[in-house]
Amino acid sequence: MTRRDRSRERLECEEEAKPSDVDIELPSIAGEQTAPVQLTVESRAHGWRLDHYLSRLFGNYSRAHLQKAVEAGHVQLNGMQAKPSRRLRVNDRIDVDLQPTDDRHFEPEDIPIDVLFEDEYLIVVNKAANMVVHPGRGTYSGTLAAALQFHFDQLSDIGGRHRPGIVHRLDRDTTGVILIAKDNQIHQKLSSQFEQRLVKKEYRAIVRGIPELESDHIRTHVCVHKRVREKMMVCAPGGRSREAVTFYRTAESFSRFALMELHPHTGRTHQLRVHMQHIGTPIIADRQYIGESCFTRGQATGDASDTEILIQRQALHAFRLTICHPVSGKTMTIEAPLPSDMQQTLNVLRTSTT
């Protein structure tokens, strides 16, 4: 690649970047507002545009709505009115006073949820596949947020009415451990642990192929995909790209597939899916990244005539989460057993000789 090509790639990454290329654990300070809030810009947001920063934190508002709010003076930067394009600096103070958007579609729903742990301060849930964490982008029903609203009387509201108690997120088809806070103080303490990267996360994934090294660190930069804005891609450093780091270990290998143990040290959007694809071992049945809508028994055994479907979503599971309890201070580790579709796939791979 020539110097000109590298420069062009960096520019394209910067032009395509948007707030979804930041840490997925960036705390959602507010969603639907009922009262003014004050924010302090953290180090990772240094250099971001004001409207980008707001759209990342206030996910229930469109970027256009937020831009109009800034221009109308409902958002002030360091006590003064600012333009939406204003670049932020560390410790800038942002005062935000927005009106709630229409939430008539969002109501509590009696959806079963698998509770792994609960005390008077927090809840840990094993999120199911095909479940969006909170409403948005046309999805207003069947969400984890709606289920939480139905099953629990007390949840933090620091994330807004559409994100009750939700401290961090998982992709729609990624299963596993997710933390829920019962009050705002606990929410802030847990968010701080994510922000400081004190939370230890371990995922399990079934991939096509076997990595050349049994274990290694993957260290790249990522940004929003040049052509498909719902995807992420590995790119050159610079612009608005973000460093992404994952440690992997091959937990079990088969003839043409492997079970991976993945430890993300950063929390970029789709990081594990992008990194596994980057090293040539993509996660099976990942419709978005490899165009594979399902994984069949025949694919596992090599018998093309066997079309029995084993799994119909990316084989990625948030297996274990280790945090410091926000009140007791004790280290706690919560595990979510492998879901049945991944376990079934592994059983077939283990008995296959091809």
Active centre residues (catalytic): 171
Q: Which two tokens stand for residue 238?
A: 């610079």
User: Residue 240: in which H helix or E strand, if any?
Assistant: none
Check residue 270 and give left, alpha or beta (phi > 0: left; psi -120 to 50: alpha): left
Q: Which residues contact 141 (CB under 8 A, 6 or more apart)?
A: 105, 109
314, 173 Cβ separation under 8 angstroms: yes
Give CA–CA dist 65/70, Å, rounded. Answer: 9
Contact 53, 217 (CB under 8 A): no
* CB-side neighbour CA atoms (13 Å) of 54: 33
Q: How far is CA 185 from CA 8, 31, 168, 181, in A?
A: 45, 17, 15, 9
The C-alpha atoms of residue 321 and residue 176 are separated, in whole angstroms, by 9
